[in-house]
Amino acid sequence: MAAEDFDIADLERRMDGAIASLKNDFGGLRTGRASAALLDPITVDAYGSKMPLNQVANVSVPEPRMITVQIWDKSQISVVEKAIRESSLNLNPIVDGQNLRIPIPELNEERRQEIAKTAHKYAEGARIAVRNVRRDGMDILKKLEKDKDIGEDDQRSLSTKVQELTDKFIKIIDETAEAKEAEIMQV
């Protein structure tokens, strides 16, 4: 393994991926307002395989507290309805021809706290992902030093850069999680 094998930009890209994944997860958390992203995690048993909901229907938000799902194939209406009902989102779709109307109920304090806990879990998962990337980077640096591809001083300075990068991304995760929790707890 040569010193060129260590790429801090690659570590940064991987940490950035953890942030993107966290933001995607947060998009699916319900805050009392309708959002098309709310239904993104739902998969439907359609045509013999599991498919994301957005591949069998159009999802739109005509009102702040209503989501509509326009299903393309009439034979899939009951399957889509069942998938939405059985999701962990606690939503009850109303069948209206080839459309489903999904009212978003007000969140009570207990449900807000549950959602905030879920947000904390997502944030902790992102922190773990960032720390794993840091560990991979540190392992590469230790191996490079052991193989005498880089000196001890280079290893220390690069380790410091990796740690600074990790701290930067952990701070972004914490700020994102705080903002999401404030949004969830807002009445």
pLDDT in tens, 106-123: 778 887 888 888 889 999
Looking at the structure, do residues 9 and 43 belong to the same domain, yes or no? no
Range of 158's domain? 3-26+108-185
Pairing type for strands 94-96 and 99-103 reads antiparallel
Per-residue pLDDT at 89 exceeds 80: no
> How far from chain centre, in Å, is Cα 33?
18
Look-up: residue for tokens 């599991």? 50
Looking at the structure, do residues 174 and 112 belong to the same domain, yes or no? yes
Structure pTM?
0.69
Q: What is the pLDDT of residue 130?
A: 93
30-58: average pLDDT? 80
Q: What is the pLDDT of residue 136?
A: 92
Per-residue pLDDT at 3 exceeds 70: no
Exposed/middle/buried for residue 26 (C-beta within 10 Å: 0-12, 13-18, 19+): buried
87-107: average pLDDT? 82
The number of distinct structural domains making up the chain is: 2
- Average pLDDT value for the chain: 85
Chain segment 14-26, per-residue pLDDT in tens: 999 999 988 888 8
Looking at the structure, do residues 98 and 114 belong to the same domain, yes or no? no
Q: What is the pLDDT of residue 5?
A: 65
Question: 48, 69, 103: which is the final residue of a domain?
Answer: 103
